[in-house]
Chains A and B, each alone.
Chain A
C-alpha cells in the first residue's frame, strides 16, 4: 500500500485529496495493492480451501445422504426432517440457545472482576492467579473434579447433610432441573480466568488518563465501569464475546463427557455432543452432518449479528 493511498483511505478529507491525485496513478497503485494482497492471502486461501471449505461442502452434501460404511445414497431432506422429530436434537439446540442467552454473564462477569483487579483490589496479584488457574486445567479434569465434588457422596452433599440442610443435599448433576444450570456455572467459572486476563491486558495498554479523569470527576466503581470501561473496551469485549460464543457451542464435548455424559436424560445435551454421538456411537454420518450444518448456520447467523451490533456500537462510540 502506498503512502498516498493510505492517506487517501485514512484521511477524513478523502474526496478533496483524491481530486488532487491523478486518476491513472491511483489505478496503478490500486492494482499493485490488489496483487500484493492476493499474494499475501494465497497461503491462507490455499490452506482454507482443502482443510475447511472442501470438508464443509462435503458435509453439506452428506447431510442429504444416508450412509452405510463408505457407501451413501441421496435421501433429500430426510435427515433434517428427522432432526425435527428427534427429542435429543430439540434439547441439544435448546440448550445451545440457552447457553447463548447466558453469554452476557460469561462476558461481563470477567470484566467486572478484571476492573476490580485493575483498580488494585486488595490481594489482586493472588486473586489474578486464583481466577486464571481453572483456565489451565483440562476440561476433562474439570469435569471429573466437579462430578466428584457434586456427586451423591461428594463433599458438598455430605456438608449440607452434616449441618442439617438435607433439602440442599442434592447431587445437582443427577437432576434434570439442575444439571444444565450447574454445568453453565462450571463453565463460567472455568472461562472467567481467560476473560480476566484478556481484559486486564487491554486495560494495561490503555492510557491512565482514561481512568484518572473519571476518578477526578468522583465516579465510583460501577459508574466508571459503565461509562468509561465498557465504551473504551468494546472491541475487546466484542472479541471475547465472539470467542466465548463459539466456545459454548463448539468446545463443550470434553466437559460434558466427563461431567454428565449428556444426562440425566438429555438434560446436558449440547449440539456438539449430539453430533458426536450421532457420528460415532450411532455411525450415522448423514444425520450427524445435518446436525452439523444446522449448528454451522445457527453459529454463523449468531456471529454476524453479534459482530454487527458490537462493532457498530464501537464505531459509533469512536465517532
Chain B
C-alpha cells in the first residue's frame, strides 16, 4: 500500500517535472533539422519599437529591399515602452537584437545594454554626429563608444492658438520676450481662458523645465552639471525652477494641471481653452506639429519659450546667451543590443532607416521629423505644419541639452518635484535640493 502510494507520488513528481521543463524534448523533423551543407538562408532580426502606424509600412519595405533579413517586430505602446525595455535592459541577457530608444539620456543610461556600433559605420559617417554628443559616450563620436544612431529629431516647443490670441485682442504672432508673454497671459486670462496648458501628470513639467534651461544655460554650465562643477541649487541653473514657480504662482497654467497629461493639455489648446501649450513634443501622433496643424489649421503656431529679461520674470536672474531659443535634439535612436544574435543584420537595418526612402516614409506616415541627415522632400507630400516645424528646428540653440548632463535618478525626480512645486507643497529651494542630491548620488556612482 505504502509502496504503491510512494510510486504514485513519484509518478506525479516525474510527470510534473516533465511538463514544467518541457522534458521529453521536441521532435525534430528531417525537414527542419539543419544540415551542415544547408546554405545560409534568411536571418530573423528581432526588433522592438514604440508603436507608430508607420512601422507597419516600414517593415515590409525593408524586407522587400533586403530579402535575406526577416523582421520580427515587437511593437509596444509608447506609455509602456520604457517599462518593457527596462525589463530587458535590467535582465541584460535576452530580448530584441535591435531597439529604437528615445532621448539622449535614455541612450546614455542604457549604455551597458547596448553594443558599440563603431565598427558598423564608417568614420566619415560617425563624424556627422560629432558635436551632438547624442549617441556617443564622450563628446567625439569618432573616438568615443557609439551606442546609438539618431533617426529622428525631437524638440519641446510651445504651441499657440492664434484664434485665442485674437479673441483676447492680441496680435496673433508669437511673443518673443517674457514681458510680451506676461501681457498676453493677462489678456487671455481676462477672457476666462487658461494662458498655458501643461500636462504635469506625465512628463509635461519635465519637458518644460528641460527647454526652459536654454533661458539661462551655457555649455560650461551644462558640462559642469555633469561633473559636479555646476549645481542646480545655484543660479543661474536654479533659475529654471524659479521661472516655473513664477508661472505657477501667477496663474499662467490651467487649474489642476497635475491631473492633466500631455495629451489632455494639448487638447485644451486644440479646443481653444488655452492660448499656449507648453511642455509638449514636436513630433508625436497625438499632439505634435502635424496634429496641431490638423486641429487648428493656419491658427496653429509653434514657438520657443520667450526670452527672459534681466530681472524679469525673476529678480536678479539674467538671460543666458541662448535665451529664447530651443534645442532640437535627436529623438529616436537606433541601437543594437549587447546580447544581439544578429548584429550585422541590425546594422543593415539601421543604415536602411537612414535612407531617404525610409526617412520620407516616416515623415509622411508618422509625422515624425526626419533625422539629422539631409532629406529631399521634393518627391513626397509633407504633412501639414511641416514648414512651421522646419522654421522652429532652424532656430536651434548652440549648446547641448541639459538632460545630457542629468545623472542617476535626477530625471525621474523632475516630474514629482515639479508637481509639488505647482501644488505649493515644495519651495524652489526644496526642489533644487532634492534634485541636486539625486544628481550628486548619480555622479558618485
Contact = CB atoms under 8 A, between A and B. Distances in A.
Interface string A20-60: 00000000000010011001101100110000000000000
B87 A280 contact: yes
A71 B437 CA distance: 25
B93 A70 contact: yes
A171 B90 CA distance: 36
Contacts of B12: 40, 43
A77 to B, nearest CB: 15
B86 A283 contact: yes
Contacts of A283: 86, 89-90, 109-110
Contact of A71 (B112, B260, B434): B112
Given A43-B16, A69-B92, A280-B83, A263 B2 contact: no
B262 to A, nearest CB: 12
B423 A175 contact: yes
A265 B2 contact: no
B13 A39 contact: yes
B86 A176 contact: no
B6 interface: yes
**Interface bin, chain B:** 35 or more
A171 B260 CA distance: 10
Contact of A39 (B6, B93, B258, B260): B6
A277 interface: yes
Nearest to B434: A87
B419 interface: yes
A58 to B, nearest CB: 12
Contact of A262 (B112, B416, B434): B416
Contacts of B82: 280-281
B17 A88 contact: no
Nearest to B261: A261
Interface residues of A, number: 45
B256 interface: yes
Contact of A174 (B109, B110, B112, B258): B258
A276 interface: yes
A265 B423 contact: yes
Interface string B409-445: 1001101110110110110000000100100010001
Among A32, A176, A282, residue most surrounded by chain B Cβ atoms (within 10 Å) = A282
A86 B112 CA distance: 25
A82 B20 CA distance: 39
A71 B93 CA distance: 12
A267 to B, nearest CB: 9
Contacts of B441: 82
B6 A171 contact: no
A43 B173 CA distance: 73
- Most B CB within 10 A of own CB, among A88, A152, A265, A266: A265
A276 B83 contact: yes
A40 B423 CA distance: 58
Nearest to B437: A85
B13 A69 contact: no
Given A42-B13, A43-B13, A280-B82, A152 B260 contact: yes
Given A35-B6, A42-B13, A43-B13, A263 B90 contact: no
B92 A70 contact: yes
Contacts of B57: none
A151 interface: yes
Contacts of A279: 86, 90
A87 B338 CA distance: 34
B258 A264 contact: yes
B408 A282 contact: yes
A39 B9 contact: yes
Contact of B259 (A171, A277, A285): A171
Interface in A179-209: none
B316 interface: no
A107 interface: no
Interface in B370-429: 408-409, 412-413, 415-417, 419-420, 422-423, 425-426
Contacts of B338: 69
A82 B413 CA distance: 15
28 contacts: A39-B6, A39-B13, A43-B17, A46-B17, A68-B112, A69-B92, A69-B338, A82-B441, A85-B437, A88-B413, A152-B259, A173-B259, A261-B202, A263-B416, A263-B419, A264-B200, A265-B420, A265-B423, A265-B426, A277-B412, A278-B409, A280-B85, A280-B90, A282-B412, A283-B86, A283-B90, A284-B409, A288-B90
Interface of A: 32, 35-36, 39-40, 42-43, 46-47, 66, 68-71, 82, 85, 87-88, 151-153, 170-171, 173-176, 260-266, 276-285, 288
Interface of B: 2, 5-6, 9-10, 12-13, 16-17, 20, 82-83, 85-87, 89-90, 92-93, 109-113, 200-202, 254-260, 264, 338, 408-409, 412-413, 415-417, 419-420, 422-423, 425-426, 434, 437, 441, 445
Q: Which 4 A-B pairs have the closest CB atoms?
A: A69-B112, A280-B86, A174-B259, A39-B9
